[in-house]
Each structure stands twice: as C-alpha cells, then as structure tokens.
Structure 1
Amino acid sequence: MSFLEELNRIVDQYHDSILVVRQQTEQRLPAHQHKKGQLLLVLGGIAYLKTGEKEYYIPSNHYIWIPQNYPHNLMYNAQDLHIINIYFPESIRDDFYNELGIYPVSKLLSEMLSFSEKWQGDFFPGDWEYEFLYTLWSLLSKENLRKFSIQLPTTDDVRLNDITSDLRKRISEPLTLEETASQFGISVRSLTRLFQTKLHISFIQYVKMLRVIRAMELIKNTNLTVTELAYEVGYSNISAFSNTFFQLTNMRPTEFKAML
C-alpha cells in the first residue's frame, strides 16, 4: 500500500470521527482528496496548496478550509513549517464549508488550538474532545473573516509554464509583456491571449501576484526594510509596492511583518 493510500485510509477510516494529525503528512504528495473536510492550519513557515485550477499561498498564522472530496496537494519551501490538520465529518450545509478559502487565525481560534495542543488521533461523538473540536469547526463560518486572496492560476500548457517559471526566476528585474514575448519568440497579442485563455488573468496581474508572494517569503525569512523589499521584488516605487501589497493581502508590508 502506498503512503497516499495509507493516508486516505487513516483519514477516512471512521466516517463519524474528527481526526487530528500533527505530523507533516501531506507535503509533496500527488493530488488527492478525502471524504472529510480538512482544516489545514499553517502556524509556522510558508505553505502552498495546489488544486487543478490554482496555487494558493498560505502564510504563517493562517488556515485553509478544504471541502470534502476536493482534490489538492500541499507544497512548501520553509524548514520551520508547522502544520496541523484536522479532518471533520461534514454535517453543516453552509456555503462557507462548501468553498475552499484561506483566512487568518483569529485570537479565539488561536486560544482554542492552544487549549487542545496535545490532542492527536480520532475523537468520536460522545467524547468531550469531539464536542470541543466540533464547536471550533462550527465557529469558523461565524467569524466573518475576510478571505486571503493570493491565488495563482495554474495550467498544463507547457509553453506557458516555461514562461511563468522564467518570470519567477527574474522577479527582481523589470518584467514587461513586450520583452517577455520577444524572449520567447511570440507576439505580444499571442502572449496576452495565452494568459487570458489559459490562466484567465492578465500578464500584469500575474506578475503582481508573483512579486507580492516573493515579498512575503522575504518578510518571513529576512530582515529587509520595506524599501529593500520593494527593490528586491522589482519595484522602484515604494508607494506602488505598498499599495499593490495591500490590494492583494488587505495588509501593508509592515502589518504583515508584525503579524508574523
């Protein structure tokens, strides 16, 4: 039995249990899904969750809710990654639990997680731990938190993946549609259409997201000033960098740093 098959067996072994898993079990596995809904908490480091359509950035002190039977796979690039997975047998029919979303860990949720920090394994109806975790789960939709919105679309188009990989490597350089089209031997019109038809996003918006994601990684892993961060991710205008960061994250770079 493969590790992926074993993981799915453990998660879905008891259809009515709430399962708490604290080991980093899902990283770098192929796309998979569970019969239970999944609360994936990132309490340290940086994680990326990939679905068939998008790649989601999950910063420290945020969680992602993954509905049941939702194909996904987890990636990361931080050594200090600290993740908690809690799998729930869904019973509340609420739009919140039917949609994948990323949210900040609130003070209330943080305190509840701290209280249950040593819990691991399956908990069943009738267990007081089950009732506590069920309450935690049901509160998620009632906090009315704003979704974190960094979502990079993905594609299986080989040519476009080569282009986006190159953009990632040269994120600190001036990146223009015209220069990129010339580098890859296609017309500006064709490249524009490629982004719109395959990724459903403009070239400029894609580059903005790449730059903000890279800035978040640098905030997490370095002590660069906001000015240094801006230059490192290709901005010569500090105000433009800060405004773009806020547009995509609802936070200024200094606020994001303080949160970490």
Structure 2
Amino acid sequence: MNANDSIQIDALQKPYFVWFEENWVHDDVLHHHNKGQLVYVESGFQYITIEERIYLLPQNHAVWIPPNAIHKTNSHSEKIKLMIMFADCDKKDAFYNDVNVFSVPPVLREMIKYAERWSKLMTKDPDETVFLKALFNELPHFVKLSLKLHLCLPKDKRLDKAIEYIHHHYRNEIKIDDLGGTASLSARTLERIFKKETGLTISKYQQMLRIIKSLELLSSDTLTVSEIAYEVGYRSVQAYTRSFGSVMHCRPTDFIKKMK
C-alpha cells in the first residue's frame, strides 16, 4: 500500500495528517510528498531508501523525511507497526531540509501514540492541529543526537559487482584485491571510487553493514547478543561491542533496553 496511491496526501486541505497501520505493507515505488514526513516504528524494523541512501529504522526509532525527498520503503519485518505523520514545514528552518534517523525518547513516543486518535482523519480538527504543531515544533530538539544509520548507494555502475559482493559476504573477511578482481578494477582505483561514491572506506562500509544487520537482529529479539555477534561476522562479543559502540554510542544491551 503506497500512501501516495490510496490517500492523496498533498491534496489534503490540512497542515497535518496522521496515518497508523498495524501491519504496514508498502509498494516498493519511489515517490515524494510536498509535506515533510515523520515515520516511527513502534515494533519490528523497516528499511527506507531516501535520495539514494538506505536507512534502517529499528524498533522505537524514527526518521524525518524532508519535503519533496524521493523515497521508498524496502524490506521489513513480517509484523510491523508504523505511525506516519505528514506536516507542512517552515522551509526557513534548516532542520526540516535534512534526513534524520533517531532513537525516539519516551516523551515523544507518548506524544506519537496519543496522536493515533487522529489516524486517517481527512478533515481539519483544531485539537489535532494544536497538538501536532507543538510536536513538530519540538522535533528538532528531540533529534539533536541523531544517528547516522545509513549506507549510500553508489551511482557509478563500476561498483555494482563490488557492492553486491560486500552485501553477500559482509560476515567474512574481505580482501581488497579480491574485491577489485570482482569489479575488474585495481585495488587503488576501487578504493578511490568507493570512498568518493559512498563517503566511506570499504572497511567502514562493511562495519556499518554489519552493525545495521545486527540492529535488525536485535529488533527481532530472537537471538542473544553473543549469537548476533557471530551471526554478523565478529569473532568475539567484545569485538562486536566495541564496533557497535563506535557507531551507536552505546552498548548492544543498552540498545535493547531502549527498545523495551
């Protein structure tokens, strides 16, 4: 179900619109809205592509999507609860022009849940307007410590085979020479183009991919931290914890507590 198809968001004559679904299913279609969009994952996890970057939304995380940003939803967990809120934005505030992925603090979480009472309301409601105006006015303060949970999709087609290889073998040690052979590029050329296109070195890209995959597993709550560490390619829990901390600025066990 694509929000653009079933409900014409930009045609609504109201500044805000709330949309909650118990088991949200999207078409994998690129689209955009004139309104900005806040997507909150109450349970499960969701991948979203925004302006050629893939973002992961674990449980109790949200993403702010700027107005007119081209995006689509990707694979997600079998059962997912999403709350999506659209808002007219003050284009003068720089915050609303950037993508932000962040852990939702308890106060904002309760505000989002309270807003469910206006889900799919097509007409203006004064109470809804006042409440959501307050929510969106405070949004920049809630995301000051936003996380960079994304990977860039390279535009250079020479990297297609290398990216595919990394995504299939991220659990294993990846040698630059072997990866260069896969892409028919020298190791030096591959590293240069890769950093230019993704903003990351190959080793950092692999690290981000491992951590993002581990967040998916942590959100599903089916494996222990130790099992997840080995599942995504780390040889010890200590190595995984250090790597996780460098990206997420917390321990895996702290992340699990935040989700509950």
In structure 1, what is the equivalent of residue 233 of structure 2? 234
SS class of match (1:33): coil
8 Å CA contact retained: 1:46, 1:77: yes
In structure 1, what is the equivalent of residue 254 of structure 2? 255
CA distance in 1, matches of 2:27, 2:5: 15
How do residues 179-258 of structure 1 correspond to structure 2 at under 5 angstroms? 179-258=178-257
Describe the shift of the 1:112–1:197 C-alpha distance in structure 2 as closer, same or farther (beyond 3 A): closer
8 Å CA contact retained: 2:16, 2:88: yes
CA distance in 2, matches of 1:225, 1:88: 39
CA distance in 2, matches of 1:26, 1:139: 29
In structure 2, what is the equivalent of residue 176 of structure 1? 175
The CA deviation string for residues 114-168 of structure 1, in whole angstroms up to 9 with x for no partner, is 3232322246666112111111111112335411111101123334222222222
8 Å CA contact retained: 1:4, 1:29: no
Amino acid at match of 1:254: T
- Which one is further off, 146-155 or 9-18? 9-18
Describe the shift of the 1:208–1:40 C-alpha distance in structure 2 as closer, same or farther (beyond 3 A): same
CA distance in 2, matches of 1:230, 1:165: 22
CA distance in 2, matches of 1:47, 1:161: 23
Shift of 1:196: 1.9
Q: Give me the TM-score of the superposition, normalised by structure 2.
A: 0.88
In structure 2, what is the equivalent of residue 22 of structure 1? 20
Amino acid at match of 1:134: K
How do residues 9-158 of structure 1 correspond to structure 2 at under 5 angstroms? 10-23=8-21, 27-91=26-90, 93-122=92-121, 127-143=126-142, 145-158=144-157
8 Å CA contact retained: 1:17, 1:124: no
Describe the shift of the 1:245–1:3 C-alpha distance in structure 2 as closer, same or farther (beyond 3 A): closer
Shift of 1:98: 1.9
8 Å CA contact retained: 2:46, 2:76: yes
Shift of 1:40: 1.0
- Which one is further off, 20-29 or 161-170? 20-29
CA distance in 2, matches of 1:221, 1:88: 30
CA distance in 2, matches of 1:154, 1:164: 9
8 Å CA contact retained: 2:49, 2:72: yes
Shift of 1:209: 0.6
CA distance in 2, matches of 1:150, 1:13: 32
SS class of match (2:37): strand
8 Å CA contact retained: 2:38, 2:64: yes
The CA deviation string for residues 88-112 of structure 1, in whole angstroms up to 9 with x for no partner, is 1113732222211011111111111
CA distance in 2, matches of 1:26, 1:149: 25
Amino acid at match of 1:241: Y
Q: Give me the TM-score of the superposition, normalised by structure 1.
A: 0.88
The CA deviation string for residues 196-221 of structure 1, in whole angstroms up to 9 with x for no partner, is 23223211111001111111122223
8 Å CA contact retained: 1:67, 1:100: yes
8 Å CA contact retained: 2:28, 2:72: yes
Describe the shift of the 1:106–1:236 C-alpha distance in structure 2 as closer, same or farther (beyond 3 A): same
8 Å CA contact retained: 2:159, 2:183: no
CA distance in 1, matches of 2:113, 2:2: 29
**Structure 1 residue ranges without an equivalent (≥5):** none
